[in-house]
């Protein structure tokens, strides 16, 4: 796996994480050959890192930009055994480094897939989900949890699927630190987040034998977080209770199809389905080839 990490210069937390990774990994600058320096790329044997201007929530242009650069530069994947190799243009997934905001301002380390179950309020397209990489998210959460003693004041939890970008051709994962300006510059949190991410990339492990989509619960679904950490199940898209009214058969099948690892389970937060419970249970049971799990 060779991912592209993306950080916006408009996000102080993302830039703090990017600076940490550039320094720790002795990353080299890759010149994209254009006259503009607004999209600077760094590379190392394990991943590439791109700095951009503007909102990462609206970065639907990345596929096309990378494709254009690849055809212009004839770049190939970085060979970790070749010290003279060039930066990878052909990447396997996109990892966005980002600040996290919440009304509670509670210190939080989190990650999530992207997508819109209804209208596109924060980037992306309406009723479109991004591709997910369940094993990558699980690796990250396991590494993050193993480092929790270094950041005892932080909650470690996944978020339900939300916001853009949604149309990229490769899997998307957001890695976030929150939830206020103090945490965005907290070097303990930045170090733990970046080291957990590095371990997930360098020592990547496949968990694709047991992958599920998840329905119900809050935006910070504790049951699904615990499932990632305490079981051998990995998760693709996650629809929280407030989005269940938008989950019809087409959306459910999109949740299943947009995982790059085969989905075999539909996981229900049994007490977190709200008024949609009967409909969602019937819908889940109607999908052939899926095992329904209650948590």
Asked whether residue 126 carries a pLDDT value surpassing 90, the answer given is yes
Q: What is the mean pLDDT of the chain?
A: 92
CATH number for the domain whose boundaries are 4-294: 3.40.630.50
DSSP-based helix, strand, coil % in the chain, nearest 5? 35, 25, 45
Encode pLDDT of 62-105 as tens digits: 999 988 876 554 444 554 444 344 444 689 999 999 999 988 88
| 176-194 burial code (b ≥16 CB/10 A, e <16) | bbbbbeebbebeebbbbbb
Residue 33: pLDDT band with limits 50, 70, 90: very low
Position 67 scores a pLDDT of: 85
Mean pLDDT (whole number) for 227-239: 97
Mean pLDDT (whole number) for 27-48: 78
Residue 30: pLDDT band with limits 50, 70, 90: confident
Return the half-sphere exposure (C-beta side, CA atoms, 13 A cut-off) of residue 106.
Answer: 10
Position 88 scores a pLDDT of: 43
Mean pLDDT (whole number) for 210-234: 98
Give 28's strand partners: 43
């Amino acid at each position: 796996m060779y991912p592209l990490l993306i950080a916006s210069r408009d996000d102080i937390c993302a830039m703090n994480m990017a600076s940490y990774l550039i320094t720790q990994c002795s990353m080299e600058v890759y010149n994209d050959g254009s006259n503009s320096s607004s999209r600077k790329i760094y590379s190392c044997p394990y991943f590439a890192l791109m700095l951009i201007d503007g909102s990462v929530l609206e970065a639907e242009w990345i596929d096309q930009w990378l494709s254009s650069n690849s055809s212009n530069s004839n770049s190939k994947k970085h060979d970790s055994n070749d010290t003279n190799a060039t930066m990878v243009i052909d990447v396997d997934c996109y990892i966005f480094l980002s600040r996290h905001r919440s009304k509670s301002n509670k210190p939080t380390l989190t990650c999530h897939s992207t997508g819109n179950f209804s209208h596109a309020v924060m980037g992306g397209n309406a009723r479109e989900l991004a591709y997910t990489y369940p094993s990558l998210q699980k690796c990250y959460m396991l590494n993050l949890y193993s480092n929790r003693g270094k950041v005892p004041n932080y909650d470690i939890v996944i978020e339900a699927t939300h916001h853009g970008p949604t149309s990229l051709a490769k899997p998307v994962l957001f890695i976030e630190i929150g939830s206020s300006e103090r945490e965005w510059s907290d070097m303990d949190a930045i170090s733990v987040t970046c080291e957990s991410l590095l371990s997930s990339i360098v020592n990547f492990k496949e968990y694709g034998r047991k992958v599920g989509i998840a329905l119900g619960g809050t935006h910070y679904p504790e049951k699904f977080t615990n499932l990632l950490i305490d079981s051998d199940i990995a998760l693709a898209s996650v629809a929280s209770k407030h989005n269940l009214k938008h989950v019809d058969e087409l959306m459910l099948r999109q949740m299943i199809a947009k995982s790059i690892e085969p989905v075999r389970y539909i996981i229900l937060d049994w007490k977190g389905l709200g008024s949609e419970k009967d409909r969602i249970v019937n819908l889940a049971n109607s999908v052939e080839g899926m095992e329904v799990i209650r948590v």
